[in-house]
Amino acid sequence: MTDPQNGRVVTRFGSQMLVRDEAGEIHRCTARRRLEHAVCNDHVHWHRDPQGHGVVTRILPRHNLLERMDPRSRKRKRVAANLDQVAVVVAPEPEPNWSLVDRCLVAIEQLPARGVIVLNKRDLLQDGLPPEPLREYRDLGYAVLAMSTQDGTGLEALRETLSRGTGILLGQSGVGKSSLVKALLPDLEIRIGALSAMGGEGGRHTTTNATLYRLDTGGDLIDSPGVRDFTPPPASPREVLQGFVELRELAAGCRFHDCSHTVEPGCAVRAALESGRVSPRRFASYRALVEETG
Ligand SMILES: Nc1nc2c(ncn2[C@@H]2O[C@H](COP(=O)(O)OP(=O)(O)OP(=O)(O)O)[C@@H](O)[C@H]2O)c(=O)[nH]1
Ligand SMILES: [Mg+2]
Ligand SMILES: [Zn+2]
């Protein structure tokens, strides 16, 4: 039996997980009995038992946890822990679902973490112009980066953005999240080979498990499975509002402090909407989420 060591959960499959030690070596581990299920990027204590098997004995307190509602079971699904930034990836193909982006941003604001919007596959833009909503996100203060893994443009800006802390790529299936990870990690093929030999995610096309990778420039990046939709866990209307940076600022100016921004007189949010200072698309996303999760 070895002394306990610090590690980070690279990926989990059933009761097994891959844990990265402080030297960067990856070990296959099981969880000690009755230990809560670990999640990708949990910081843990682990050791080798007398038979030489890796055992995770403790999950260290998380500074945040990204969760979403599973559309089938309607239960919370844990995506990853201890995130500093979240990049929501969109592409000209498949056609972007902007309400999904807004929903991801709500979860990001709740973590909280830095939100980044990535437009991948810029090589597929018909007229070379980025879609209109991207300008809205930039105006709200989110970093918006355009790139292509096909021609390699724009990747340096993403590498720089991800060089500190731990980031995750979120987005619809097929937008190119795994392709981005691959482009940022030239030796990924080798690592994927090593991971799949240990029972982790293989070279499959569709990602099925969130997996943590170490970037050569510093920083860590999590590749996550594509989602059809993204619903943050249930929240009060007030909590949903916190996820819309421009609306939460405006709400401070409403006449009633418990304003629902629907029918009240003196509503600063609706005034801004009517004068065109708030995007109707964003307000509709906010309303839909209040109706759904409230
Ligand atoms: N034209 C073009 N195609 C790309 C680009 N990046 C990725 N692709 C293609 O998009 C497809 C999907 O890429 P993936 O990286 O598997 O997408 P993903 O987001 O990881 O998908 P899931 O794992 O299912 O969530 C592949 O056929 C890639 O070759 C790009 O910049 N331009
Ligand atoms: Mg993938
Ligand atoms: Zn109001």
CA dist 91 and 278 (Å) reads 24
102 marked as binding residue: no
Side-chain half-sphere exposure of 130, counting CA atoms within 13 A: 18
> What percent helix, strand, coil does the chain show, rounded to 5?
30, 25, 45
pLDDT value of residue 199: 57
pLDDT value of residue 127: 87
For residue 188, what are the CA distances in angstroms to 135, 144, 216?
33, 25, 11
Contact status, residue 62 vs residue 81, Cβ threshold 8 Å:
yes
Q: Copy the structure tokens of residue 141.
A: 């203060």
Distance 206 CA to ligand 1 centre (A): 9
Q: Is the CB of 172 under 6 A from ligand 1?
A: no
Fold of 65-223: Rossmann fold (3.40.50)
Distance 271 CA to ligand 3 centre (A): 8
Please report, in tens digits, the pLDDT of each residue of the chain (294 residues total).
788 899 999 999 888 999 999 999 999 999 998 999 999 999 999 999 999 999 999 999 999 999 999 988 989 999 999 999 999 999 999 999 999 999 999 999 999 999 999 999 999 998 888 899 999 999 999 999 999 999 999 999 999 999 999 999 999 999 999 999 999 986 765 566 566 666 555 555 788 889 999 998 889 999 999 998 899 998 899 999 999 999 999 999 999 999 999 999 999 999 999 999 999 999 999 999 999 876
DSSP 189-238: HHHHHHHHHTTS--S-SS--S-EEEE-TTS-EEEE----S---PPP--HH
Distance 175 CA to ligand 3 centre (A): 36
Q: Is the CB of 179 under 6 A from ligand 1?
A: yes
Q: Architecture of 237-293 per CATH?
A: Orthogonal Bundle (1.10)
pLDDT value of residue 211: 95
CA dist 294 and 292 (Å) reads 6
- In the structure, ligand 3 is a single-atom ion and the residues with CB under 5 Å from it are 254, 259, 261, 267, 269
121 marked as binding residue: yes
Distance 290 CA to ligand 3 centre (A): 14
Q: What letter does residue 123 receive in the DSSP assignment? A: G
| Domain segments of the chain as ranges | 5-59, 65-223, 237-293
Q: Architecture of 5-59 per CATH?
A: Beta Barrel (2.40)
Closest-CA residue, ligand 1 atom 11, reads: 174
Contact status, residue 227 vs residue 100, Cβ threshold 8 Å:
yes
